Amino acid sequence: EVKRDPKIQVARLKLPILGEEQRIMELVNENEFLIVAGETGSGKTTQLPQFLYEAGYAEHKMIAVTEPRRVATVAMAARVGYELGLSSKEVSYLMRFEGNATKDTKIKFMTDGVLLKEIQSDFLLSKYSVVIIDEAHERSVYTDILLGLLSRIVPLRRKRGNPLRLIIMSATLRVEDFTENTRLFKEPPPVIKIDSRQFPVTVHFNKHTYSDYLKEAYKKTVKIHTRLPEGGILIFVTGQQEVNYLVRKLKASFPYRKDVDYSKLITKTKTASDADAALDSEPDDIESDDDEVEKEMKRARKARRKAKQKAKTLPKINLDDYDMPDDDGQADLVDGDDDSDGHLSDSDAEEDTLAPAIKSCRQPLWVLPLYSMLNSAKQARVFAAAPPGARLCVVSTDVAETSLTIPAVKYVVDTGKKKMRVYDHVTGASAWRIVWTSQASADQRSGRAGRVSSGHAYRLYSTAVFQHDCPPHYQPDVCRRPVDDLVLTMHAMGIDKVVNFPFPTAPDRLQLRLAEKRLETLGILEKAESKRKDEDDVLKVTPLGKAVSAFPLLPRYGKMLALSHQQNLLPYTIALVSALTVPEVMSGKADCWPATGNTLLLGDPGVLLRAVGAAEYAYVNGEEELFCAKYGLREKAIKEIRKLRKQLTSEINLSIAGVDVSVDPSMQPPSDSQARLLRQLLLSGLGDQVARKIALDEVKEGEDKRKFKYAYHCGNLEEPVHLHSESILRKSIPEWVVYQELYETGAEDRRKMVMRNVA
């Protein structure tokens, strides 16, 4: 019997999904597969697990809920536990390196990768009565694989007389990928659509598209806050740095002071009508053809009206309780300058025109960041109301697109951008690119403005961009990235014919083959005779491969760890692998790290290893910050490496019997013989990424030889690849090298392939 807090009950009853409880539960009871599609915020994630719990699905076995994002895994477990009045022992979460699940857990939220790992040890998922795959529309790689596997596991469980239910939850996007794929489900599963009360959202496009979208986002937010009626603002940008940057900037413009009583501030001062909400952009995709005079008059009328309102409605500040901000207080409000991207210049002329509005606006903005890596306490703040008198403003990455619903948003400011990892399938090179979102994402983002009342979405780009540069959808991840780790995971599960797997959307067969080939080269897969006479050889996981698949790493790094276990080099390899998996550790001070001792033997990874060791030593002595600055190390990267080392170390202690390694802050540099072994380990993991120096006499007549000083041949690539400008091997230019990563740099006319972390 669930006893909910009456306040929670009231809030729940407002959710559209509550009215469908009976119909949903009937469908669940009668069907093994069910698709629940509903607008973001309709209550799928928080309510469906509760319906199942109340219907007894957690009595003998657990309810599993998978999320593609860590941030949702933690937040939703906490929320559902809270609504049910259960502790985190019963409604728990589990993700890589972190969790609070217990033997009493009834509802288990987990990242999709974690459930996939569980299938490896218990193919029938016998601990669960029902599996909910949440956010299936995100089409994360693990989610796709889980769907393929579960489409087979569910019938197997039925045959054993021990049925398992699968519920696929998704925003109302491309449900056909699941229903119309007969390899996945022979009979299309029933779909239940949750109609949510969505209020109309007016979409405004910018007339022009400016490249500095952060500046545009700032300006638009200032205009909304100073001119438009109450209602929360949600801003979409691409990453953590941008989020923090805008948060600082907006806080500085509209500071909230604890010592001021804003509650008496008359918040309904901005009485602009919806017509005024167009700000400077055009409603919908209609290009305005108002003639200029008419516009000018409108503008003047508006300005007069505004001036009047402002005059009438100066905020009432409690003068007894008001301190003049001292210098220190001010300093906090000034922009930090640790953002290298330098998007916004404060001296910009156009921004200056906003200055009077900013100055005369007394209402604070309650600005909150939201992104995946934010700690959960700070995340939770976005769900609470802003303090009286302040306006809520959340600056978020695409986490707020469908995973988390921020209450009370009326205005959405959409930069139209997102960060996406782009891969080159031939070279394996990858790069993070900022790209236009898909049209589907743009619509999702706009929709966030219409949850509580009619709203407005400001797209900071033109209709032409929307139509020509935003693809309708992006392909699912599984079709876009190298699949080595997946292919290994699947083989380790006994799926010999990866190409026959029932993917919701199948990746290119060639990509699957190439991944198998790389794994074969690394000795992780090997050919074996098929048990079936009429079949060709199949690929099996080697004993090495088995060890490798236990590590939560890409196979090449897992292999380095697996082999170093034999050589007692684990602490070094853990440090090395951690350092190699964190991007941009060194920031352009290669001279600080001359080749000493056996550094050259290990090339760039050797420098990394030395740097990590030394930084750790400085950290223990409380001098990390200074040390990093002095020796050109990115402090955040060093901190991340420390975390990873700890995590990997404990993971390894847990997963390999008899191993007990620890993170030693005063780890000595490797001896010469250890360095030689470490070099072999590097080769074992990177051995398929080899390059050979281009001799200067190979350079064609007429070509500038100087351009070939650090140039190498690499595999089937026609163009040369170059040693990274910071590579320590520029001093010795060895004939043969292995590299960790190949990537493209330079402006369009000077593109160049560069090898990073070379040994």
Nearer to Mg ion, 15 or 609 (CB): 15
Nearer to Mg ion, 70 or 248 (CB): 70
> Which CB sits closer to ligand ADP, 234 or 250?
234
- Residue closer to ligand ADP (CB basis): 43 or 450: 43
Residues from 517 through 576 that contact ligand ADP (CB under 6 A): none
Residue 720, binding choice from Mg ion, ligand ADP, none, Cβ under 5 to 8 Å by partner class: none
Q: Per-residue string for binding with ligand ADP, 352-381, x by CB under 6 A? A: ----------------------------x-
Taking alpha carbons only, the member of 51, 160, 40 closest to residue 450 is 40
Q: What count of Cα atoms within 13 Å lies in the side-chain half-sphere of residue 384? A: 12
Amino acid at 698: E
Site for Mg ion in 244-263 (CB under 5 A): none
Cβ atoms of 563 and 684 within 8 Å: the answer is yes
* Helix H or strand E segment including 620: helix 599-620
628: phi then psi, degrees, rounded to nearest 5: -60, -45
- Cβ of residue 380: shortest distance to ligand ADP, in angstroms? 6
Q: Return the residues of window 182-221 that contact ligand ADP according to CB under 6 A.
A: none
For residue 269, give Cα distances in angstroms to 98, 219, 228, 230, 619: 47, 20, 9, 9, 52
- Which one, 450 or 606, has the nearer CB to ligand ADP? 450
Count of residues near ligand ADP by CB under 6 A: 16
Strands, E assignment, 696-735: 711-714, 721-723
Q: Does 383 bind ligand ADP (CB under 6 A)?
A: yes
CB 204 within 8 A of CB 261: no
Q: Which one of Mg ion, ligand ADP, none interacts with residue 756, CB within 5 to 8 A by kind?
A: none
Q: Which of 110, 107, 89 is nearest to 98 (CA)?
A: 110
**DSSP code at position 586:** B
Contact 754, 740 (CB under 8 A): no
> Which residues neighbour 422 within 8 Å (Cβ) at sequence distance 6 or greater?
430, 431, 432, 433, 435, 480
Taking CB within 5 to 8 Å according to partner kind, which of ligand ADP, Mg ion, none is near residue 129? none
Beta carbon of residue 67, minimum distance to ligand ADP (angstroms, whole number): 10
**Residues 6 or more apart in contact with residue 446 via CB below 8 angstroms:** 201, 203, 412, 414, 457, 459
Nearest distance in Å: CB 393, Mg ion: 22
Residues 62-101 that bind ligand ADP (CB under 6 A): 75, 79
Nearer to ligand ADP, 47 or 441 (CB): 47
41 binds, among ligand ADP, Mg ion, none (CB under 5 to 8 A by kind): ligand ADP
The 3-state DSSP class for residue 497 equals coil
- In the bound complex, what is the minimum distance in angstroms from residue 12's beta carbon to ligand ADP? 8
Site for ligand ADP in 1-60 (CB under 6 A): 15, 38, 40-47
Q: Which of residues 45 and 684 has its CB atom nearest to ligand ADP in the complex?
A: 45
Question: Quick check: 224 and 217 in contact, CB under 8 A?
Answer: no
- Shortest Cβ 178–ligand ADP spacing (Å): 17
- What is the dihedral angle through the alpha carbons of 463, 465, 468, 469, rounded to the nearest 10 degrees? -150
- Output Rg (C-alpha) for the chain, integer angstroms: 29
Residue 430 DSSP symbol: E
| Shortest distance (Å) from residue 109 CB to ligand ADP | 12
The Cα diameter of the chain in Å comes to: 91
Question: Which 6-65 residues touch Mg ion, going by CB under 5 A?
Answer: 44-45
CB of 73 to ligand ADP, least distance (A): 12
Under the criterion CB under 6 A, does residue 391 sit at the interface with ligand ADP?
A: no
CA-nearest of 297, 290, 223, 281 to 254 is: 223
- 46's contact among ligand ADP, Mg ion, none, with CB below 5 to 8 A by partner kind, is ligand ADP
Q: Which does 545 bind (CB under 5 to 8 A by kind): Mg ion, ligand ADP, none?
A: none
Q: Give the residue with the Cβ less far from ligand ADP, 38 or 364.
A: 38
For the segment 615-674, give every residue that binds Mg ion (CB under 5 A). none
Q: Shortest approach of ligand ADP to residue 41 CB, angstroms?
A: 5
How far apart are CB 610 and ligand ADP at their closest, in Å? Answer: 45
| Shortest distance (Å) from residue 44 CB to ligand ADP | 3
Q: With CB cut-offs between 5 and 8 Å by kind, which of ligand ADP, Mg ion, none does residue 111 bind?
A: none
Question: Which is nearer to ligand ADP, 42 or 415 (by Cβ)?
Answer: 42
**CB of residue 89 vs ligand ADP: minimum separation in angstroms?**
19
Binds ligand ADP (CB under 6 A): choice among 129, 209, 238, 405: 405
CB 400 within 8 A of CB 448: yes
432 part of the interface to ligand ADP, by CB under 6 A = no
Q: How far is the CB of 22 from ligand ADP (least distance, A)?
A: 18
Q: Nearer Cβ to Mg ion, position 15 or 203?
A: 15
Report which DSSP code applies to 508: P
Tokens 């916004």 identify what position? 344
Amino acid in position 327 = D
Exposed, middle or buried, 346 (CB in 10 Å: 0-12/13-18/19+)?
A: exposed
Q: Which of 425, 428, 374 is nearest to 399 (CA)?
A: 374
Residue among 334, 382, 389 nearest 365 (CA)? 389
CB-wise, 45 or 397, nearer to Mg ion?
Answer: 45
The entry of Mg ion, ligand ADP, none that residue 512 binds, CB within 5 to 8 Å by partner kind: none
Q: Using CB atoms within 10 Å of the CB of residue 473, give its burial: 0 to 12 exposed, 13 to 18 middle, 19+ buried.
A: middle
Measured from the CB atom, is 198 or 430 closer to ligand ADP?
198
Q: Which does residue 407 touch among Mg ion, ligand ADP, none (CB within 5 to 8 A, set by kind)?
A: ligand ADP
Which does residue 542 bind out of ligand ADP, Mg ion, none, counting CB within 5 to 8 angstroms by kind?
A: none
The DSSP annotation for 252-274 comes to: HHS---TTS--TTS-GGG----G
* Nearest distance in Å: CB 698, Mg ion: 58
- Residue 460 contact among ligand ADP, Mg ion, none, beta carbon within 5 to 8 Å by kind: none
| Rounded Cα distance, 314 and 322, in Å | 16
Residues that bind Mg ion (CB under 5 A): 44-45
Interface residue list for ligand ADP (CB under 6 A): 15, 38, 40-47, 75, 79, 380, 383, 405, 407
